[in-house]
Structure 1
Amino acid sequence: MRKFFPTIAFVAVALASLVLAGFAYFAAREAARIKFEAAADDAVGRIESRLDLHTSLLRATEAFFSARTGGVSRAEFDKFYQTLDVDGNFAGLLSLGYLKLIRPGGEAAARDEIRSNYGIDPAFPLADGLEWHAPITLIEPHDGESQRYLGYDVAIDSVSRAAMEQAMADGALHASGRRMLDPLPDAKGEAKSAVPGFVIFARLGVDGVPAGQDAVAKTKGFLYAAFRARDLFEVALGKAPQLPVNLEVYDQSIDLGNLLYRSEISPVHGYGLKTMRMIEVAGRPWAVVLRPTAAFTEPSSPFVPVVLGLFGLLLAGTIAMIARYQERAFDAATRLHETTEKSLMEKDLMLQEMRHRIKNSIARVLAIARQTAAHSADLKEFSSSFSARLQSMAASQDMLTRSRRQQADLGDLLRIELGQVFGKDLPDGLLSGPQVLLDETTTQALGLTFHELATNALKYGEAGSSVGALRVDWSVDGQGRERMLALNWIEAGKLNLEAPAKTGFGTKPIDMNITRELRGTIEREFREDGLQVKIRIPHSN
């Protein structure tokens, strides 16, 4: 437990600091959201106030027309319009006018009314198949540009007609959907493309109509007010203080085809703040999408949570370091004691391993000496054979000593043993087989076996005159614990080779090494063209 205390202390303090930083971050986010929501509410409130002012204009016009049951002349309507101070009070208003409701065949009365008021004889582009029509008979402002709309049948526009039908049904104000209105002139006075807008309609009823009549019979006509959306919204949002919000206003649903207005100042998306409000304009819903602009500032610095988090991590690291130093000081004596005991144990193990290997080596040397002496005719032959076998044993041990894993490569072992007998310049193609790593026991046993086979080949086979008559190949078969190392020793070149009548010394250690020590098998096949020795031993590496 003491070992993990610095880590536990660091994690605990760091988590506490991160939790505090997280709370600070979310508090800052919430404060920013609340501030932005307040700015959004302010923007929507300004828009609704401006729209209420414009609808009150239409209600005032409706009251003016209702008070003059005999009809309103152009002069009266012009005087009424001039008193409104539209440019100063109703920015965005494109035109204000009256639509006379007529049934098919009633065009003459509407034409006479326009001729009487404006002195022009307009064309009536009335559409066929409509139950009623609504041509413009009064319009303000009535300059030459606007007078060209006199006589235009607004009822042929399906969107406007739907709003007028709703006004006939309930007598309330109703706004049309998004309409593309007359283009605004640029700085040079040249017209640009049409701009989005909308039209609000108010129904004028007919007095004294008997009950049971349809809505058309009860309707004298409609008052309308057409608005350019951009002018209206810019006036509504232009008063001080300027709001740091970007607006997109859509008719009914958020769709590019329904876009009424979009702020020219681009939004900033990095705050992750966005809200939507639904407002109702003369019975028609609008969707207002609001985002912050670059002028929006957060109520608190966004770096406060970062500073808190970094300070907490620094504090956690300091505490962990202090705890770590104390733990290291406490463990210093323990580690020294453990190191001393470990060194003594390793020394004992090394001595035991050395005694074991020396004992095994002495036993092997004594066995070789006894067998060599039993089959040697004189001291000279004994000395030569015994020295060669000791060199073979030493070569195998040297390979193991140079290997970090106490393993020897089979191919390298064969090259060393054959090199001691035939010389270092061995021909190509003498050895073939994959890389096979041998453990200590297998290396010692096979080293002596290869030495005896090579010595016999040198003494008795045709390979004595040319090592090219010798071939050695090997492979590994099977999987897991059933893997077997298969080695073939082939001596060619001597004809009519027969098995010896008496087993020599070299044969006995070979058989003992393979069958007893390595638990394998060895087969000798004396063929007409030479000798083949097949060795099979288990191989688990």
Structure 2
Amino acid sequence: MERVKRLFPVVVFVSVATASLAMAGYAYVAATDAARIKFESTADDAVNRIETRLELHLSMLRATLALFKTGNGMVSRDALRSFVAALDIKDRYAGIRGLGYARLLRKGGEKAAEDDLARNYGGEIRVWPPEGGSQRTPITLLEPLDESNRGALGYDMMSEPTRRAAMMRAMEMGEPRATGLVPLVRDAGSMSQPGFLIYLPLVLGASDDAPVAQRMAATAGFVYAPFRAADLFGAALSRAPLLPLAIEVYDGEPKPETLIFRSQTPPDRSMGRFGTSRQVQVAGRTWLLRFEPTSNFAWPASRMAAIALGLFGLALATALAYVVRSGEKAYEAVRALNEAGEKALQEKDLLLQEMKHRIKNSLARVLAIARQTASGAKTVEDFSASFSARLQAMSASQDMLTRSRWQKADLRELLLTEVEQVLGNGMDADRLTGPQVEIDEATTQALGLTFHELATNALKYGAAGTGKGTVAVTWSLTRGGLRLFWRERGGGKVEPPERKGFGTRLIDANIVRELGGSVERRYPEDGIDIEIFIPLKR
């Protein structure tokens, strides 16, 4: 139960923090999903703009084809120029460089194309390059006639493989076909400005559902339009509102050599791995459009709100855990205070009971000593002296126990104190030998009186009384308890007593009856030996 209480603040913190972080994570994921949906929608908007712009150009190209079909392929420069001027392609169809017509000739028929060029534009314009294949498609009409377009007049587009492939597919399918990325003609003999072209075959004398060979044989030429890629995509994407997208357009696989267009604004990849791709069909070719967000892309919901929610949740979890822990500490402090109060009361009662017990024992011991002393005293003075000495022995033992809070007393200190009370300070400490032994309360009081009686007897009847003898005490700890040896030498022959006096009975009472030990007395030629054994509790 205590362990559960200690872990409760941790459980509170983990639970609240987990819930908060889960909510923050959900909010972050929701914000990211919302941003991704917005980004995908923006990319779809860009694709729609590009497709709309391309479809507008294709519609204009079909209208131009209709013009040529109406004139049975015989459209003058003035008619085309008026048609182009009415369309206002410079302002309304940005990206397209013009509308033109390339006459389909067999090799050797270049003179007819050069006559058309002379009739429409004057001067001498040759078909170029001079070399070519079995079929040639020199440009005979191109409007508006600016400096760059003028340089393209007479150019045989069949001489260039990419253009030739697109025109052949257009003849086969009878539909508009675009080239891959090619350099546009800048002037006679030179190329510049990367872009692409779209061709529509002019079929005269054959229906649209005629066999391929019949339609190809009836193809008189191609209506076409050159496109500058940067201008086309710039016009498609510059319409308000501006899209916060970085765009790359590839003709097929995303390779450096197939790159048609790349927007000038770089992507902002710090927003995460936002990116998407779309495929667009442009006159028989597949364009790959890749989109990434720019720094202007605005999240519909701030990610900082999710982060702030997570931080707030952690702070709340910490605060709740602290409050719970503080409450537990306060409760524990009150409980500890109550327990301390109860313990103090119990100790007070125990102390009172102990004092009563000790006082009763001490009074009983004093009364017993008084009765025994009185029975052996001949005069009041003898009683007073003996009784006072024995009370002082008890008092010395009581002092030692008091200093140790009634726990333990040192055997050497007790022995030295009791012996010096009787024999004076002349007792040599070297004659007290043995290990350090601590004895309990009962043993202390019993040995205190025992040492007092032994020292008194030595002074009255033994070695200490003659001034020549010696008293030595040794002790040791054995397996069963404490063994002491009291030896007196040099005081003459000591005879065994005919009867036990009070001192002897007091010693036996203390050692044998109270402590459960034994006392053995031996009488050699020049003294007395007393061996005392006391069982000790380990």
TM-score in same-fold range (> 0.5): yes
CA RMSD of aligned residues (A): 3.4
**CA pair 183-244 structure 1, distance change in 2 beyond 3 A:** farther
Where does residue 278 of structure 1 map in the other structure? 279
Where does residue 155 of structure 1 map in the other structure? 158
Where does residue 291 of structure 2 map in the other structure? 290
C-alpha distance in 1 between matches for 2:133 and 2:25: 66
C-alpha distance in 1 between matches for 2:125 and 2:265: 44
**Aligned pairs for 1:90-239 within 5 A:** 90-125=93-128, 130-143=133-146, 145-181=148-184, 194-207=192-205, 213=213, 216-239=216-239
Q: 2:17 aligns with which of 1, 14, 18?
A: 14
Contact 2:277 2:290 in 1 (8 A): yes
Where does residue 66 of structure 2 map in the other structure? 63
Give per-residue Cα distances to partners, 1:184-207, cap 9 Å, x unaligned: 9xxxxxxx9933311000001131
**Residue type matched to 1:256 in 2?**
P
C-alpha distance in 1 between matches for 2:294 and 2:152: 41
Report deviation, 1:148. Answer: 2.8
C-alpha distance in 1 between matches for 2:90 and 2:129: 33
**Aligned pairs for 1:79-90 within 5 A:** 79-90=82-93
C-alpha distance in 2 between matches for 1:17 and 1:6: 16
**CA pair 168-16 structure 1, distance change in 2 beyond 3 A:** same
Give per-residue Cα distances to partners, 1:465-524, cap 9 Å, x unaligned: xxxxxxxxxxxxxxxxxxxxxxxxxxxxxxxxxxxxxxxxxxxxxxxxxxxxxxxxxxxx
C-alpha distance in 2 between matches for 1:315 and 1:145: 71
With normalisation by structure 2, the TM-score equals: 0.58
Contact 1:74 1:138 in 2 (8 A): yes
Where does residue 247 of structure 2 map in the other structure? 247
C-alpha distance in 2 between matches for 1:193 and 1:330: 91
**Residue type matched to 1:177 in 2?**
G
C-alpha distance in 2 between matches for 1:236 and 1:33: 23
**Aligned pairs for 1:427-446 within 5 A:** none
Report deviation, 1:135. Answer: 1.1
Q: Does 1:256 align with 2:256?
A: yes
C-alpha distance in 2 between matches for 1:143 and 1:325: 87
Contact 2:269 2:293 in 1 (8 A): yes
Where does residue 5 of structure 1 map in the other structure? 8
C-alpha distance in 2 between matches for 1:128 and 1:84: 36
SS in 2 for 1:294: coil
**Residue type matched to 1:62 in 2?**
L
Give per-residue Cα distances to partners, 1:417-469, cap 9 Å, x unaligned: xxxxxxxxxxxxxxxxxxxxxxxxxxxxxxxxxxxxxxxxxxxxxxxxxxxxx
Report deviation, 1:70. Answer: 5.3
SS in 1 for 2:105: coil
**Residue type matched to 1:199 in 2?**
L
**CA pair 213-284 structure 1, distance change in 2 beyond 3 A:** closer
**Residue type matched to 2:195 in 1?**
G
**Aligned pairs for 1:414-433 within 5 A:** none
Contact 1:196 1:261 in 2 (8 A): no
Identical amino acids, percent of aligned pairs:
43
Give per-residue Cα distances to partners, 1:43-72, cap 9 Å, x unaligned: 221111111111111100000001111511
Q: 1:51 aligns with which of 29, 35, 54?
A: 54
**Residue type matched to 1:248 in 2?**
E
Report deviation, 1:2. Answer: 2.1
C-alpha distance in 2 between matches for 1:127 and 1:334: 111
Contact 1:9 1:316 in 2 (8 A): yes
C-alpha distance in 2 between matches for 1:180 and 1:222: 19
**Aligned pairs for 1:29-48 within 5 A:** 29-48=32-51
C-alpha distance in 1 between matches for 2:6 and 2:202: 91
SS in 2 for 1:312: helix
Q: Which moved more, 1:56-65 or 1:103-112?
A: 103-112
C-alpha distance in 2 between matches for 1:129 and 1:215: 23
C-alpha distance in 2 between matches for 1:130 and 1:120: 26
Report deviation, 1:267. Answer: 2.1
Report deviation, 1:157. Answer: 1.3
Report deviation, 1:268. Answer: 1.5
Give per-residue Cα distances to partners, 1:66-106, cap 9 Å, x unaligned: 11115112222222222211112111111321111112222
Structure 2: runs of 5+ lacking an equivalent: 344-407, 412-429, 431-538
C-alpha distance in 2 between matches for 1:129 and 1:145: 23
Contact 1:249 1:262 in 2 (8 A): yes
Report deviation, 1:116. Answer: 2.3
Contact 2:151 2:186 in 1 (8 A): no
Give per-residue Cα distances to partners, 1:286-343, cap 9 Å, x unaligned: 1111222222211122211112111111111122112223444455667999xx9xxx
Report deviation, 1:229. Answer: 1.1
**Residue type matched to 2:25 in 1?**
G
C-alpha distance in 1 between matches for 2:206 and 2:235: 42
**Residue type matched to 1:90 in 2?**
Y
SS in 2 for 1:221: strand
Query: Number of residues paired by the alignment?
Result: 341
Where does residue 312 of structure 2 map in the other structure? 311
C-alpha distance in 2 between matches for 1:317 and 1:193: 71
Report deviation, 1:124. Answer: 2.8
Contact 1:246 1:291 in 2 (8 A): yes
Contact 1:126 1:133 in 2 (8 A): no
**Residue type matched to 2:286 in 1?**
P
**Residue type matched to 2:218 in 1?**
K
| Higher gyration radius (CA) | 2
Report deviation, 1:33. Answer: 1.3
C-alpha distance in 2 between matches for 1:28 and 1:91: 38
C-alpha distance in 2 between matches for 1:295 and 1:26: 21
Q: Which moved more, 1:287-296 or 1:198-207?
A: 287-296
**CA pair 211-243 structure 1, distance change in 2 beyond 3 A:** closer
C-alpha distance in 2 between matches for 1:293 and 1:129: 47
SS in 1 for 2:155: coil
**Residue type matched to 1:116 in 2?**
R
C-alpha distance in 1 between matches for 2:161 and 2:168: 10
C-alpha distance in 2 between matches for 1:230 and 1:220: 32
Contact 1:204 1:222 in 2 (8 A): yes
Contact 1:181 1:197 in 2 (8 A): yes
C-alpha distance in 2 between matches for 1:142 and 1:310: 67
With normalisation by structure 1, the TM-score equals: 0.57
C-alpha distance in 1 between matches for 2:35 and 2:212: 59
